[in-house]
Amino acid sequence: MSTIVNPILRGFNPDPSVCRVGDDYYIATSTFEWFPGVQIHHSRDLVNWRLLTHPLTRKSQLDMQGDIDSGGVWAPCLTYDNGTFYLIYTDVKSRIGAYKDTHNYLVTATNIEGPWSEPIFLNSSGFDPSLFHDDDGRKWLVNMLWDSRKGNNKFAGIVLQEYSVEEQRLVGPVKNIFKGTELKLTEGPHLYKRNGYYYLLTAEGGTQYNHAVTMARSLTIDGVYEVDPFNPILTSAERPELALQKAGHASIVDTPAGEWYMVHLCGRPVKDKFCNLGRETAIQRCEWTEDGWFRLAGGSRYPELHVQAPDLPPHPFESPAEKDDFDAPQLNVHWSTLRIPAEPDWLSLEERPGYLRLRGMESMISMHRQSLVARRQQSFRCEAETCLEFEPDYFQQMAGLIMYYDTKDYIYLRVTHDENLGPCLNILQSKDGVYDELLEQDISLQGNRYRLKVAIDRETAQFYYNDTAQDAGECEWKAVGGPIDITHLSDDFPAYIRFTGTFVGMCAQDLSGTRKHADFDYFIYRELD
């Protein structure tokens, strides 16, 4: 029997929603302010997974320009019924303080790879919406209810309302069906039905180190819901020795042979409690008890790193190429842009064939129009390398290699122009919004073609450059400064809560507004463990 090694979706892939269609399994995860919206991974054996597609590819489906850090797409729910895929998602516009502006939408497709429909607005009463298809043909939406009133429980429970396919809107009364348990912070609801019971799976305890999965059941869809006496059915709270921390926010699925699994959110600290890879997705083998409760196989409530795989034929996928030469007419599926789609007015793969051309736009703190293309860091030890051709005229024009968490936290090996040095290099760092330049003096550069690299080893990063080699084989790397502590590129660094993960990529800024372009010849992302 083969073994599943957790996490199955490494790096920033939180809030998993799993769906089986025949012999195919799909997991949808949150993308927050990164575009395109929602990652969908595919598997046929629950062991091997590939990033397949993103359903939200148009601004008409997802307009995030101006969305705050860790806003955007929260907790998608992917389901399938009668030949149609249904994807529910939240676009969060504000989240800090008493109020949260959380708009919930539905898109559909008959093929998982699209095309996906224009969105149907559902409600804005809370986040983490989920659609349930009952066996009588009716469809029901559940979401957590946000209560902004002073003195009230902000996580006010799980509300239920019917969805009409014919009218393409929610209809009928709204009912609060579950107020949660003593774990509090009740969110992430999913409904299931088995042997006459409706099962309500929720996340509780908050999406950090007290996270947990709660199960409750009822003979009617609108309650009253009885909590599993063994609750929580999954958590890593107060177990710091576990490899998988923050276990919670789950979704369940069965195989054609009746084996059951639960996918769930987790985090892996690199140092202390810093999770630089963000919140990831793991899977656990499960079973139903004789009295009808859903539990981890073996009776534990704690996540395991190695899990027995189902009795399915192995179905491995080809590993993604380490090097992207930018020869395709579109960005590959692993690239993301920040808040805005990759449109020809700022990004081109055709103006100079074999190069990614970025036109400089706003600064690294902008929540509107950044010219930034990046991919997830998915390994504790990895390298990222690019080759940049750039001829800046002013200090306001910059381009280079960036490690990016959000507008407050990034580390940027940038090329710019200095009145005395000409083209030059420095490392810019923002740490909890405090800007710094890590070298006392910019490094003067030769020519206009520069190779840039970062080597990441858990909580540290070392940058390198070369400005003389024309071919990669000739390149002798020169260190830029010393090792940099990168623990601030994590969910766990600031006083406030945030939800994404570290990206590595390429960007260009032109703060003069002339949109000076930078050309990137290739990008290498190489994992070392």
Helix (H), strand (E), coil (C) string for 231-286 = CCCEECCCCCCCCCEEEEEEEEEECCCCCEEEEEEEECCCECCECCCCCEEEEEEE
Q: What would the mean pLDDT of 302-309 be, rounded to a whole number?
A: 98
Per-residue pLDDT, 226: 98
Per-residue pLDDT, 55: 98
User: Over 70: is that where the pLDDT of 451 sits?
Assistant: yes
> In b/e form, how buried is each residue of 127-165, taking b as 16+ CB within 10 angstroms?
bbbbbbbeeeeebbbbbbbbeeeeeeeebbbbbbbebee
Domain that holds residue 430: 323-527
Whether 314 is covered by a domain: the verdict is no
Q: Which residue has the higher pLDDT, 21 or 475?
A: 21
Half-sphere exposure of 124 (CA within 13 A, CB side): 11
Q: What would the mean pLDDT of 199-223 be, rounded to a whole number?
A: 97
The total of structural domains in the chain comes to 2
**Final residue of a structural domain among 308, 339, 357:** 308
Per-residue pLDDT, 472: 64
Q: Do 234 and 247 form a contact (C-beta atoms < 8 A)? A: yes
**Measured CA distances, 445 to 406, 414, 451, 484 (Å):** 28, 12, 11, 22
Tokens of 495: 């006083």
User: Over 70: is that where the pLDDT of 56 sits?
Assistant: yes
Residues 396 and 287 in one domain: no
**Measured CA distances, 282 to 14, 49, 133, 406 (Å):** 10, 12, 25, 24
Q: Which residues contact 162 (CB under 8 A, 6 or more apart)?
A: 138, 139, 140, 141, 170, 171, 172
Exposed / middle / buried, residue 98 (Cβ in 10 Å: 0-12, 13-18, 19+): exposed
Q: What would the mean pLDDT of 289-304 be, rounded to a whole number?
A: 97
What is the distance between the alpha carbons of residues 183 and 185, in angstroms, rounded to a whole number?
A: 7
Q: Do 28 and 40 form a contact (C-beta atoms < 8 A)? A: yes
What is the distance between the alpha carbons of residues 479 and 463, in angstroms, rounded to a whole number?
A: 6
For the CA atoms of 347, 66, 409, 9, what is the dihedral angle to 10 degrees? -70
Residues 172 and 111 in one domain: yes
- Give the tens place of pLDDT for each residue, 68-101: 999 999 999 999 999 999 999 999 999 988 999 9
Q: What would the mean pLDDT of 422-443 be, rounded to a whole number?
A: 97
Residues 85 and 200 in one domain: yes
Q: Which residues contact 79 (CB under 8 A, 6 or more apart)?
A: 17, 19, 85, 86, 88, 131, 132, 133
User: Over 70: is that where the pLDDT of 312 sits?
Assistant: yes
Angle made by CA atoms 494, 495, 499, in degrees to the nearest 5: 60
Exposed / middle / buried, residue 328 (Cβ in 10 Å: 0-12, 13-18, 19+): exposed
User: Over 70: is that where the pLDDT of 309 sits?
Assistant: yes
Per-residue pLDDT, 475: 82
Per-residue pLDDT, 389: 98
Handedness of CA 45, 48, 53, 56 (dihedral sign): positive
- Give the tens place of pLDDT for each residue, 386-421: 999 999 999 999 999 999 999 999 999 999 999 999
Q: What would the mean pLDDT of 344-369 be, rounded to a whole number?
A: 98
CATH for 441 = 2.60.120.200
**Final residue of a structural domain among 273, 308, 343:** 308
Q: Which of 214, 151, 161 is nearest to 185 (CA)?
A: 214
Q: What would the mean pLDDT of 466-493 be, rounded to a whole number?
A: 89
**Final residue of a structural domain among 276, 308, 340:** 308
Residues 386 and 272 in one domain: no
Q: Which residues contact 260 (CB under 8 A, 6 or more apart)?
A: 252, 253, 254, 285, 286, 287, 288, 294
Residues 244 and 360 in one domain: no
Residues 111 and 174 in one domain: yes
Average pLDDT over the chain reads 97
**Measured CA distances, 410 to 43, 388, 502 (Å):** 33, 19, 9
CATH for 235 = 2.115.10.20
What is the distance between the alpha carbons of residues 416 and 509, in angstroms, rounded to a whole number?
A: 10
Q: Do 416 and 373 form a contact (C-beta atoms < 8 A)? A: no
Q: What would the mean pLDDT of 119-130 be, rounded to a whole number?
A: 98
Neighbours of 462 (CB within 10 A): 17
Active-site residue, 15 included: yes
Residues 122 and 13 in one domain: yes
Angle made by CA atoms 264, 282, 10, in degrees to the nearest 5: 120
Whether 318 is covered by a domain: the verdict is no
Whether 274 is covered by a domain: the verdict is yes
Q: Quick check: bond before 494 cis, omega within 30? A: no
Whether 298 is covered by a domain: the verdict is yes
Q: Which of 213, 251, 262 is nearest to 235 (CA)?
A: 213
**Which one is catalytic: 67, 187, 442, 459?**
187
Whether 313 is covered by a domain: the verdict is no
Residue with tokens 């990046």: 374
Residues 416 and 354 in one domain: yes
**Which one is catalytic: 15, 67, 324, 510?**
15
What is the distance between the alpha carbons of residues 160 and 224, in angstroms, rounded to a whole number?
A: 13
Residues 349 and 392 in one domain: yes
Whether 315 is covered by a domain: the verdict is no
Whether 440 is covered by a domain: the verdict is yes
> In b/e form, how buried is each residue of 412-437, taking b as 16+ CB within 10 angstroms?
bbbbbbbeeeebbbbbbbbbeeeeee
Q: Amino acid identity, residue 265? A: L
Q: Which residues contact 319 (CB under 8 A, 6 or more apart)?
A: none
Residues 462 and 398 in one domain: yes
Whether 273 is covered by a domain: the verdict is yes
Tokens of 346: 């700022």
Residues 248 and 385 in one domain: no
Q: Which of 299, 261, 301, 256 is nearest to 281 (CA)?
A: 261
Residues 391 and 243 in one domain: no
